[in-house]
A and B are shown apart, each in its own frame.
Chain A
């Protein structure tokens, strides 16, 4: 039985329920964020965003995303390509590894980096002797973000790659194309929309990540606070207007990303990939 055979009233009811839940759980909180942000006027909200510590948080968030999203694009693409187009020992293990960050709590992933790079950890003393600060600084923020957002690109392009199979690549190979040519001329064009969607999702999460980043940040104002952490700090300092202003900006960045994704989907004429 397919969906078209369901009674009309049932379809309407389910659709209405889904819409209601969507409105209550997603649209309402979002609206609340923007309402709270603008409660005391545009000027107050803008002032909170232009305050030096907020600007530093915005800068840091964009910087972390700008470093980790391209790295994860390349890494995710490579992982998906290996899994979809090749057979090798350990392939199944790689599949598990790609999905690992989804199943591990972000707080745990943050703690892992403390254990590795912390002063009491494996590499901490060695790093400190060489004056390299990893934990409680930009490198750890990037590492934690990389870890948490790794699956997005790989998981978005993998189903498409698997569905397309290897026929086209094999045809290219018989025509004498080398590996890089095949990837660039055949594989990549086939998945570019899915790839872009994955990159955008990855970016949205990279900017919004809280748990893992909170553990490795050290919470130094104006230096290691990303936007989500800064929102928490402002809220705890009773600066509600400022907290919601920064939260609204963060939500806006996420919304722009999502809007870009759906425009791309319409543009490409078909649904690409699946939300991670």
Chain B
């Protein structure tokens, strides 16, 4: 028999041709925003808004592409060559890591107002409806029999904020913070790599009594899964989380997108951008807007990373580097 390309195989080869490359219209400008996990919904909305604005003002069609993942991992991808025009990450340290490789100017944090963080968030407790374990403040978390869900501070930006908020609270209560964190992490049954993974563990799989979560992530979970099963508890003290944004200079220059990239980030500070942030449960920088939504964002005592920990570089070195405090207190399986 003569060998020939079988019909099935020919059809298989033809199929992609039918679907072939998406129609990429001429003259569409593209912008890539590399972001962290819980901002998916925020940037889906904001990017759509930005595309409309830019079209109206400049008569140019823009396509904003979004990439999401754990903040540290996303920074690593940009360092390895993911062509982000802007990064919108969970913490300044991850942007610093990119700046260290020369892709972002070292003084990036001063280029935009308020530490280049157009919105803020904080760390709250997401608990089961009715608060069966009576969790009101950080010390309640280490009561016997309370299972705590938090992601791994080694890989997750949110988890580092969780950890530092707990640390600040222990200090305020006059406890030994290292001992407190050690007890806390002994009551963590599963350490996911990212914030969204932890939320899924807590909400979908029903693990744990309390999820240490970004305020926005907690509100989103409440919205998605109904207030019938979950509630949010605001501890008396938490941390001011400032998710940082920056233009990736090397990429923006190379791709000729600096004007777009800068407008995209500046727009986050504009009234419309702040409204989008509020809609997705991020605390706006606009004081009037924040006051208007005081019900959604109840005031609480917030420590800052600079005030309480001497900045990210210091906090990272002391707590999360190899051999740091976290490595000392966390021993899996003990």
Q: Are B81 and A118 in contact (CB under 8 A)?
A: yes
List B contacts of A199 (CB < 8 A). 9
State which of B19, B41, B197 has its C-beta within 8 Å of the C-beta of A59.
Answer: B19
> Does B15 have its Cβ within 8 Å of any Cβ on chain A?
yes
Q: Which of B3, B16, B40 contacts A192 (CB 8 A)?
A: B3
From residue A142, how far is it (CB to closest CB) to chain B in Å? 12
- On whether the beta carbons of B101 and A120 are closer than 8 Å, the reply is yes
Q: How far is the CB of B225 from chain A (nearest CB, A)?
A: 8
Report if A66 contacts B (CB, 8 A).
yes
- Could you give, for residues 4-22 of chain A, a 1 whenever the CB lies within 8 Å of some chain B CB and a 0 otherwise? 0000000000000000000
Q: Is the CB of B69 within 8 A of A219?
A: yes
From A184, A196, A219, give the contact of B68 (CB < 8 A): A219
Closest CB in chain A relative to B138 CB, distance in Å: 28
A56 (CB) vs chain B CBs: closest residue = B22
Contact between chains at B68 and A135 (CB < 8 Å) = no
Closest A residue, CB atoms, query B65: A220
Question: B15 → chain A, closest Cβ, in Å?
Answer: 6
**Once the chains bind, are B15 and A62 in contact (CB under 8 Å)?**
yes
- Determine whether B200 belongs to the interface, using a CB cutoff of 8 Å to chain A: yes
Contact (Cβ within 8 A) B9 A120 = no
The reply to whether B80 and A220 contact each other, CB–CB distance below 8 Å, is no
Which parts of A243-276 form the interface with B (CB within 8 Å)? 260
Pick from B16, B37, B80, B101: contact of A66, CB under 8 Å = B16
- Min Cβ gap A39→B in Å is 15
Q: Write out, one digit per residue, whether chain B residues 191-209 have a CB within 8 A of any chain A CB (1) or not (0).
A: 0000011001000000000
Cβ of B81 and Cβ of A119 under 8 Å apart? yes
Please provide the 9 A-B residue pairs with the shortest distance between their CB atoms, ordered closest to farther. A119-B81, A118-B80, A66-B16, A62-B16, A218-B82, A136-B82, A219-B67, A59-B19, A220-B67
Show 21 residue pairs from A and B whose CB-CB distance is below 8 angstroms, ordered by the A residue.
A55-B19, A58-B19, A59-B16, A63-B21, A66-B16, A70-B13, A120-B79, A120-B80, A128-B254, A136-B81, A189-B1, A189-B2, A192-B3, A196-B6, A196-B9, A203-B12, A218-B82, A220-B32, A223-B65, A235-B200, A236-B37
B contact set with A: CB distance below 8 Å: 1-3, 6, 8-9, 12-13, 15-16, 19-22, 32, 37, 40-41, 65-69, 77, 79-83, 101, 196-197, 200, 224, 254
Inter-chain pairs besides A118-B81, A119-B80, A218-B67, 20 sampled, C-beta below 8 Å:
A55-B19, A58-B19, A59-B21, A62-B15, A62-B16, A63-B16, A119-B81, A128-B254, A133-B81, A135-B81, A136-B80, A136-B81, A188-B3, A189-B2, A189-B3, A219-B68, A221-B67, A223-B65, A233-B68, A236-B196
